[in-house]
């Protein structure tokens, strides 16, 4: 069977493409500026009697429709009809939703047995670490320029300073050097007041993992009362210990974007500081919250894995599941308590960066419940006052295992694998991809077995 040439159909396809777009525009269903106007597509097709020219013609079709190809795989047809050069092709890609029908029609002109399955119901999620540049959608309810309840609302200089930090974050791209900040004397004084008061509570209120890391941060990263640490120094410290790294954030991010970053062991971190008029409270995350609350725990391997597991579970999840995962994050990473040596200790960043709530959480006032992800994920939380209920983990290892068991029940049309060598997310939707992932795991196990043999 002869292949149909692409030269004529290409012009025809371009006409069809333009007509399709104009039609959808007139119906108000196409917005070319929206990221979510692209749909994921899985295609299988067959090329007969393949030469280089046939492959290039097929490639031209994908190029014509600005297709983002995530996986392209060829294999010889099991039952060739014409020659041993017949190829079956598998393509996993993303294309503008308006172009899907025309793309398939055009492919049928250069190939046979074209089959497609859509994944439109799966929300977009980053596949490689560079995609995190798109994950910076802000929740603006705490913006100091618009929120009357914000301590810095009427302070024009503070709002100007915040705009400076926001510009730094929005212009940052993964791989750039982290912005070095020259903090003002007033900002450093605010940090110093928070640092001094919280540091007095840590020995009696913080978990041992936090205390161990905090000591190292003071030694290696400039953690002290008269100095606000730089993200570059802190990110380097985390990278060496758990593989986590920091990127600048402009403010409070959407749950989906923030959790997606954790999947790549990236923590989006603010650099601005709360208004000086309210040093002991901030309605939004700031560098006191990030550097004193989150960073020390991210230096613990067990906790770093716990954080990444939540992030991986969020990728491609429904809005309902994102809400549950965000609630789990709230009651663990932000406001979690755990048992240590018969005592209750804090490991949540919201507690470890708030003098008042840290005191309250370990008093006799709040209610304690055992950490159970099924219960915790649907429990109402309070973001305007102290929590009436806190969930207590037996230990961080137990919390991690329970979370992993919970996330395995989240229904998705695919499985995911994070490749730490390439910092990419692999969608395991073919036997070959599963085999490659298994091969990596086997190689790791082989090395561990050899290590055990050497030790025995």
d(CA 270, CA 136): 12
Q: What HEC string does the chain produce? A: CCCCCCHHHHHHHHHHHHHHHHHHHHCCCCCCCCHHHEEEEEEEEEECCCCHHHHHHHHHHHHHCCCEEEEEEEEECCCCCCCCCCEEEEEEEEEEHHHHHHHHHHHHHHCEEEEEEECCCCCCCCCEHHHHHHCCCECHHHCCCCCCCCCCCCCHHHHHHHHHHHHHHHHCCCCCCCCCCCCCHHHHHHHHHHHHHHHHHHHHHECHHHHHHHHHHHHHCCCECCECCCHHHHHHHHHHHHCCEEEEECCCECHHHHHHHHHCCEEEEECCCCCCCCCCCCCCCCHHHHHHHHHHHHCCHHHHHHHHHHHHHHCCCCHHHHHHHHHHHHHHHHCCEEEECCEEEECCHHHHCCHHHHHHHCCCCCEEEECCHHHHCCCCCCCCCCCCEEEEECCHHHHHHHHHHHHCCCCCCCEEEEECCCCEEEEECCHHHHHHHHHHHHHHHHHHHHHHHHHC
d(CA 44, CA 46): 7
d(CA 344, CA 342): 7
**Active-site residue, 218 included:** no
Distances (CA, A) of 241 to 177, 206, 283, 432: 19, 20, 30, 33
**Facing residues of 138 across strands?**
253
d(CA 144, CA 153): 5
Catalytic residue among 54, 289, 307, 317: 289
Burial 86-107 (b: 16+ CB within 10 A, else e): bbbbbbbbbbbbbbbebbbebb
Residue 278: Cβ within 10 Å count:
13
**Active-site residue, 357 included:** no
**Active-site residue, 35 included:** no
Catalytic residue among 97, 235, 314, 353: 353
d(CA 133, CA 88): 35
Catalytic residue among 96, 136, 205, 294: 294
Catalytic residue among 54, 92, 290, 334: 334
**Active-site residue, 334 included:** yes
Catalytic residues: 289, 294, 334, 353
């Amino acid at each position: 069977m002869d292949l149909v040439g692409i030269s004529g159909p290409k012009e025809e396809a371009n006409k069809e493409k333009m007509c399709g777009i104009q039609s959808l525009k007139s119906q108000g269903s196409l917005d070319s500026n929206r990221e979510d106007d692209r749909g994921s597509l899985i295609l299988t097709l067959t090329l007969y009697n393949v030469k280089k020219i046939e492959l290039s013609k097929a490639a031209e079709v994908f190029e014509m429709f600005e297709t983002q190809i995530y996986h392209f795989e060829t294999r010889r047809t099991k039952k060739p009809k014409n020659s041993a050069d017949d190829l079956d092709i598998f393509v996993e890609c993303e294309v503008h939703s308006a172009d899907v029908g025309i793309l398939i029609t055009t492919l049928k002109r250069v190939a046979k047995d074209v089959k497609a399955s859509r994944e439109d119901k799966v929300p977009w999620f980053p596949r490689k670490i560079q995609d995190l540049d798109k994950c910076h959608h802000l929740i603006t309810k705490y913006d100091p320029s618009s929120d009357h309840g914000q301590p810095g609302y009427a302070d024009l200089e503070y709002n100007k300073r915040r705009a400076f930090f926001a510009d730094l974050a929005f212009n940052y791209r993964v791989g750039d050097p982290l912005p070095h900040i020259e903090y003002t004397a007033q900002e450093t004084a605010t940090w110093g007041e928070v640092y001094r008061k919280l540091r007095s509570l840590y020995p009696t209120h913080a978990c041992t993992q936090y205390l161990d890391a905090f000591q190292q941060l003071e030694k290696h990263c400039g953690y002290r009362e008269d100095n606000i640490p730089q993200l570059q120094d802190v990110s380097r410290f985390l990278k060496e210990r758990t593989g986590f790294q920091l990127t600048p954030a402009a403010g409070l991010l959407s749950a989906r974007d923030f959790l997606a970053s954790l999947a790549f062991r990236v923590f989006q971190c603010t650099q601005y500081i709360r208004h000086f008029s309210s040093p002991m409270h901030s309605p939004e995350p700031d560098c006191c919250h990030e550097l004193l609350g989150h960073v020390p725990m991210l230096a613990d391997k067990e906790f770093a894995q716990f954080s990444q597991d939540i992030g991986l579970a969020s990728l491609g999840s429904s809005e309902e599941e994102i809400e549950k995962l965000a609630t789990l994050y709230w009651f663990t990473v932000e406001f979690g308590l755990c048992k240590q040596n018969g005592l209750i200790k804090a490991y949540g960043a919201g507690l470890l960066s708030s003098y008042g709530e840290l005191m309250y959480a370990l008093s006799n006032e709040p209610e304690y419940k055992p950490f159970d992800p099924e219960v915790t994920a649907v429990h109402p939380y309070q973001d305007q006052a102290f929590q009436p209920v806190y969930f207590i983990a037996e230990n961080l290892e137990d919390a991690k295992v329970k979370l992993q068991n919970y996330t395995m029940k989240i229904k998705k049309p695919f499985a995911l694998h994070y490749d730490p060598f390439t910092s990419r997310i692999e969608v395991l939707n073919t036997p070959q991809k599963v085999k490659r992932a298994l091969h990596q795991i086997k190689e790791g196990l082989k090395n561990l077995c050899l290590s055990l043999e050497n030790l025995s």
